[in-house]
């Protein structure tokens, strides 16, 4: 065992248990491909007695993750507990300060402390690998950190949360409401009992902040991301989008602009038939646009024990193949101290086409009011669709109106909608969904 790469795994949930099984069952194959034997020596989890479907009998159980991270019996600390605070943060930091390479799948930890941890890793000549933290089994981190070093990236975007993609897919395929599809996702284990982190876009934002740092050489800045979830998407939006030749997806998008980096997470309409529109269910996809390679997209399983453990195992193998004393590449693509401050481009300046769904009073002058307010802001309309009138009791008839604009700014759209509202024509709230321009 002295010639083996020794792993200490903190967290034996779905991913941790799958990793133990992979290392045990595929030992000979991993040895051949990694250049040395890879073994699990120590583990940690909340419950020692829980049956995880893998053999832990020959492994050392260490109750404290920080002590595991410092143990002389490991060479690599594998953090699979999750969370941006302790014990994940303190244990990863302890591992790096005590000469242990680190592999983690923890996007929340990296979004909050990634630059600090990368700096410690670099100072100690260690690897901090985190392929599984973004898009599960898709090897996007390796591609951005290594394969695209000769490229200047202009935009990175994608579907980064399987829960949201599953819900939107079911809404379209089966004509069900958001609430019905969310419950179904929870019943199938695709959504947590408290799904807020996923459906409000926070999970996507954490992953996007890491991708943006790699793409543009800036410090990780999750708080600089415009955030909008999918809870307000209705079946009416889904149906209208399809009729107009679009499909609604929750996208994370980071774009380099003359005013800084525009980072945003929100529902977006993408053209039917485009590659990103065809990504259904819990599948993830990441697209990169760069000057040398052009445009490329990778898709695959964004979560799940085996897919995520596969990415973790790949990171471990990279460590096994590294040479002692060799200067390792920086965790965030370039030295942490050289990362630029994240200059945020405001969403009000975002340019693109927009889908707008209004419910307005069915009275003379309403359409004129809408046209006037749009014209005041220099907004050109590509199409106007008026739905069948609705009437409830003795109330005035309400007319659902759908507008699709040519390219304009977020600021202009918001100003025009405020004008329509001030004219007293609007019933309820306007629904506005951005139309993502694809190359």
- Among the listed ranges 176-190, 301-315, 321-335, 388-402, which one has the minimum average pLDDT value? 388-402
Q: Which long-range contacts (CB under 8 A, 24 or more apart) does 178-182 make?
A: 178/230, 178/231, 178/233, 178/234, 178/235
**Alpha-carbon distances of 287 from 28, 154, 157, 205, 439, rounded to whole Å:** 35, 11, 5, 16, 10
CB 71 within 8 A of CB 99: no
**Exposed e or buried b per residue across 284-306, where buried means at least 16 C-beta atoms within 10 angstroms of its C-beta:** bbbbbbbeeeeeeeebbbbbbbe
Please give the pLDDT value at position 396: 58
Comparing CA positions, the residue from 8, 220, 213 lying closest to residue 104 is 8
Q: Which percentage of the chain shows pLDDT scores above 70? A: 96
- d(C-alpha 11, C-alpha 77), whole Å: 11
Q: Which residues contact 107 (CB under 8 A, 6 or more apart)?
A: 130, 133, 134, 203, 206, 207, 210
- Mean pLDDT across the stretch 216-237? 94
Mean pLDDT of the chain: 92
Which of 155, 114, 153, 154 lies closest to 134, judged by CA? 114
pLDDT at 399: 80
The proportion of the chain whose per-residue pLDDT surpasses 90, expressed as a percent, equals 77
Quick one: pLDDT at residue 327?
Answer: 65
Residues serving a catalytic function are: 207
DSSP 383-436: EEEEPPPB--TTSPPEEEEEEEE-SEEHHHHHHHHHHHHHTT-B-S--EEEEE-
pLDDT at position 389: 58
**How much is the pLDDT for 394?**
43
Give the pLDDT confidence score for residue 261 in this predicted structure: 93
Q: Would you call 52 exposed, middle or buried from its count of C-beta atoms within 10 A (0-12, 13-18, 19+)?
A: middle
Quick one: pLDDT band at residue 384, thresholds 50, 70, 90? confident
- pTM listed for this prediction: 0.92
Between strands 38-44 and 351-361, the pairing is unpaired
Q: What is the mean pLDDT of residues 121-131?
A: 95
Q: What is the mean pLDDT of residues 177-196?
A: 92
Spell out the domain ranges in the chain.
5-137+305-338, 149-301, 347-435
Higher pLDDT, 3 or 326: 3
Q: Please say if the pLDDT value at position 349 is more than 80.
A: no
Q: pLDDT category, 1, cuts 50, 70, 90? A: very low
Q: Report the C-alpha gap between 326 and 302 in whole angstroms.
A: 32
- 347 — pLDDT class (breaks 50, 70, 90): confident
Spatial separation of the C-alpha atoms in residues 373 and 371, rounded to whole Å: 6
What CATH superfamily is the domain 347-435? ACT domain (3.30.70.260)
Query: In this predicted model, what pLDDT tens digit does every residue of 259-295 receive, in sequence order?
Result: 899 999 999 999 999 999 999 999 999 999 999 999 9
- The Cα 234–Cα 406 span in angstroms is 23
> Is the per-residue pLDDT at 189 higher than 60?
yes
Q: Which fold has domain 149-301?
A: Dihydrodipicolinate Reductase; domain 2 (3.30.360)
Residue 329's pLDDT is what? 83
Q: What is the pLDDT of residue 305?
A: 87
Cis peptide upstream of residue 87 (ω within 30 degrees of 0): yes
CATH of domain 5-137+305-338: 3.40.50.720
Which residue in this structure is represented by tokens 């790699």?
A: 214
**pLDDT band for position 326 (cuts 50, 70, 90):** low
Chain Cα centroid distance, residue 366:
40
- Give the pair of three-digit tokens for residue 379: 């907004």
Residues 383-390: what's their mean pLDDT?
A: 72
* Chain length of the chain: 439
């Amino acid at each position: 065992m002295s010639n083996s790469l020794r792993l200490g795994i903190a967290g034996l949930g779905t991913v941790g248990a799958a990793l133990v099984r992979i290392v045990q069952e595929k030992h000979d194959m991993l040895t051949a491909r990694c250049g040395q034997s890879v073994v699990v020596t120590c583990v940690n989890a909340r419950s020692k007695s829980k049956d995880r479907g893998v053999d832990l009998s020959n492994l050392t159980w260490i109750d404290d993750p920080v002590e595991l991270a410092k143990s002389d019996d490991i060479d690599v600390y594998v953090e699979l507990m999750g969370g941006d605070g302790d014990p994940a943060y303190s244990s990863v930091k302890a591992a790096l300060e005590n000469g242990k390479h680190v592999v983690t799948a923890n996007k929340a930890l990296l979004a909050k402390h990634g630059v600090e941890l990368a700096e410690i890793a670099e100072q100690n000549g260690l690897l901090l690998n985190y392929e599984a933290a973004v898009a599960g089994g898709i090897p996007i981190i390796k591609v951005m950190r290594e394969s695209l070093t000769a490229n200047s990236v202009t935009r990175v975007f994608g579907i980064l949360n399987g829960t949201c993609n599953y819900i939107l897919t079911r809404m379209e395929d089966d004509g069900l409401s958001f609430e019905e599809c969310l419950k179904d996702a929870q019943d199938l284990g695709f959504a947590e009992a408290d799904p807020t982190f996923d459906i409000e876009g926070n999970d996507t934002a954490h992953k996007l902040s890491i991708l943006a740092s790699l793409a543009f050489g800036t410090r990780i800045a999750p708080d600089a991301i415009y955030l909008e979830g999918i809870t307000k998407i209705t079946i009416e939006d889904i149906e209208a989008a399809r009729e107009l030749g679009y499909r609604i997806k929750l996208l994370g998008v980071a774009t380099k602009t003359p005013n800084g980096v525009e980072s945003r997470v929100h529902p977006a309409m993408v053209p039917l038939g485009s590659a990103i529109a065809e990504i259904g269910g819990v599948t993830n996809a990441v697209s990169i646009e760069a000057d040398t390679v052009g445009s490329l997209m990778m898709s695959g399983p964004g979560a799940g024990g085996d897919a995520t453990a596969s990415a973790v195992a790949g990171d471990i193998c990279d460590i096994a193949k590294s040479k002692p004393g060799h200067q390792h590449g920086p965790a965030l693509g370039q030295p942490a101290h050289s990362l630029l401050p994240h200059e945020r481009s405001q969403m009000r300046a975002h340019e693109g086409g927009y889908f707008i769904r209004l419910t307005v009073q069915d009275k003379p002058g309403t359409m004129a009011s809408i046209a006037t307010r749009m014209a005041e802001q220099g907004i050109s309309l590509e199409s106007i669709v008026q739905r069948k009138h609705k009437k409830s009791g003795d109330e005035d008839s309400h007319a659902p109106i759908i507008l699709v604009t040519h390219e304009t700014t977020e600021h202009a759209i918001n100003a025009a909608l405020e004008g329509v509202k001030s004219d007293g024509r609007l019933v309820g709230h306007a629904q506005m969904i951005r139309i993502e321009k694809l190359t």
